[in-house]
Structure 1
Amino acid sequence: MAGHSKWNNIKRRKESQDAKKAKIFTKLSKEIYAAVRSGGEDPTTNLRLRMALTKARAENIPSDNIERTIKKAAGNSENIQYEEITYEGYGPGGVAVMVKALTDNRNRTAAEIRHAFSRNGGNLGENGCVSFLFDRKGQLIIERNEEMDEDEVMLDAAEAGAEEIESEEDIYLIETETEDFEDVKNNLEQKGYLFTKAEVTMIPQTTTNLSNEDAETLIQLIEKLEDNDDVQYVYHNFEMTEEQLHQFVN
């Protein structure tokens, strides 16, 4: 989990905010569309849609955009069908990489994902080649501030049903079982906590360190994958050292 938060810190500092926001809007709009098509337009009965809406609001996507996407999906006036595909492979140094995509053109997306791996020191593998190295978990991130008492945060999270709580320099990371995610999130929200991230994700069981050269190449691979509009999520088990963190941030 710590490595994942470091990766997010690096991304925040390296990426253009405007470009990042446009990409996020595109990806979340596709997720909302696919959620409605698969489970209906009522978020009270559609968990996938409910989670997509939570992410969209956290990213400040305008309500008008959200409603327009929901109505478009409910009517399917454009006759778009998105297919969910998971790609698995290895990056430089044997790092496990999983890619979750939503696409209306399987052949195009597969070719682009394969190209990204091959051009950046990786190899696209068969389904199942790395997924066993990850656990599906709920993850909540709370940004620390001076008014927070660490013991109180830990106690509140534990009472809410959290499986694991980790205190870092600038954040608290809370991990839950997938089926407990919404209950933990709702319980903590009722106590006034706000989240910088709240989602069900894939957590690596073990992490891998890399040489500086391989780390740089892996970062290029992940950025190339995340830049693809069809890619919703990229998961990996790379653990960055403090030295590499400072090197890539600075």
Structure 2
Amino acid sequence: MGRVFEKRKHKIFARNAKMSKAFTKIGKEINIAVKAGGGNPDTNSKLRTIIQNAKGLNMPKDKVDAAIKRATSKEDKDYQEVIYEGYGPHGVPILVECATDNPTRTVANVRLVFSKKNGSMGNSGSVAFMFERKGVFKFAPNVLNLEELELDLIDAGAEDIEQNEEETVIHTKFTDFGLMVKFLEDKKIEAISAELHYLPTTTKELSEAEQDEVLILIDALEDDDDVQNVYHNLA
């Protein structure tokens, strides 16, 4: 009974930690969007999209409102979006997307993680060419009627549509991200999330043991408070 309780407690702790990290990430995205375009989602499309993403994560409305209020005050920190590049074990290219109020601290921390986990920090441009900036839209199952909407979605920039029992995922070019956002708003279709990601142009096959080595590095990078996303090309 004690072991079952400990396992359950560990799962709850891990889930809460993951949720806390996700809320912190959204808070920084709100900060950056508000500083750039103001705190009114009606006139700030980027902020409007982030609020929708927060809703998809079940982030309480009062937390979202508080983040917007903080961002509009002069006392809140100014976050910069920074990307660092490097290689993990077995030559796996890695992009680390950060939002930081202190790039000097962040780059030192990221470099240390690469070093400790058998990776190496690279220069700007060293691996970025292996990735493409894409819009990634995720929907709950059965939200989209593809028989009716497929052609309209393609006109709105959909390059790839994947549908299974758990979700529907649409990819767009970076330049068509805003077009797809507007299409969904006009059709009153709610996505679970609408984000820009770096997707690898090719993938790398590794053994399970080799993959574990890379994932240890990725997990360590994701644990850093300044890190928003970590991208790689593991198959």
- Measured against the shorter chain, the TM-score band is 0.7 to 0.9
Q: What's 2:233 paired with?
A: 237
| Letter in structure 2 aligned against 1:50 | R
Mark the CA change 1:126 to 1:43 in structure 2 (over 3 Å): closer, same or farther. Answer: same
Measure the CA separation in 2 of the matches of 1:109 and 1:218. 21
Which of the numbers 120, 123, 143 marks the counterpart of 1:123?
Answer: 120
Q: What's 1:141 paired with?
A: 138
Please state whether the residue corresponding to 1:225 is helix, strand or coil: helix
Q: Are 1:83 and 1:102, in contact at CA under 8 Å, matched by a contact in 2? A: yes
Measure the CA separation in 2 of the matches of 1:120 and 1:57. 35
Q: Are 1:137 and 1:201, in contact at CA under 8 Å, matched by a contact in 2? A: yes
Q: What's 2:93 paired with?
A: 96
Gaps of 5+ in 1: 1-12, 240-250
Measure the CA separation in 1 of the matches of 2:55 and 2:144. 24
Q: Are 2:52 and 2:193, in contact at CA under 8 Å, matched by a contact in 1? A: no
Measure the CA separation in 1 of the matches of 2:64 and 2:161. 32
| Post-superposition offset of 1:177 | 2.0
Q: Are 1:156 and 1:188, in contact at CA under 8 Å, matched by a contact in 2? A: no
Which of the numbers 175, 179, 188 marks the counterpart of 2:175?
Answer: 179
| Post-superposition offset of 1:209 | 1.2
Q: What's 1:158 paired with?
A: 154
Q: Are 1:142 and 1:193, in contact at CA under 8 Å, matched by a contact in 2? A: no
Report the number of matched residues.
225
| Post-superposition offset of 1:169 | 6.0
TM-score, L = length of structure 1: 0.78
| Post-superposition offset of 1:24 | 0.9
| Letter in structure 2 aligned against 1:107 | T
Deviations 1:149-193 (A, max 9, x none): 665564453354312223456433211122322432453466575
Measure the CA separation in 1 of the matches of 2:153 and 2:13. 32
Q: What's 1:105 paired with?
A: 102
| Letter in structure 2 aligned against 1:196 | I
Q: Note if 1:38 corresponds to 2:48.
A: no
Q: What's 1:208 paired with?
A: 204
Q: What's 2:25 paired with?
A: 27
Measure the CA separation in 1 of the matches of 2:12 and 2:117. 19
Please state whether the residue corresponding to 2:204 is helix, strand or coil: coil
Q: What's 1:77 paired with?
A: 75
| Post-superposition offset of 1:231 | 0.6
TM-score, L = length of structure 2: 0.83
| Post-superposition offset of 1:77 | 2.2
**In terms of mean alpha carbon deviation, does 227-236 or 15-24 score higher?**
15-24
**In terms of mean alpha carbon deviation, does 178-187 or 51-60 score higher?**
178-187
Mark the CA change 1:93 to 1:185 in structure 2 (over 3 Å): closer, same or farther. Answer: same
Q: Are 1:157 and 1:188, in contact at CA under 8 Å, matched by a contact in 2? A: no
Please state whether the residue corresponding to 1:163 is helix, strand or coil: strand
Identity among equivalent pairs (%): 41
Measure the CA separation in 1 of the matches of 2:83 and 2:36. 17
**In terms of mean alpha carbon deviation, does 111-120 or 41-50 score higher?**
41-50
Deviations 1:191-240 (A, max 9, x none): 5755333211111111111122220011111111111111111111111x
Q: What's 2:84 paired with?
A: 87
Which of the numbers 15, 18, 24 marks the counterpart of 1:17?
Answer: 15
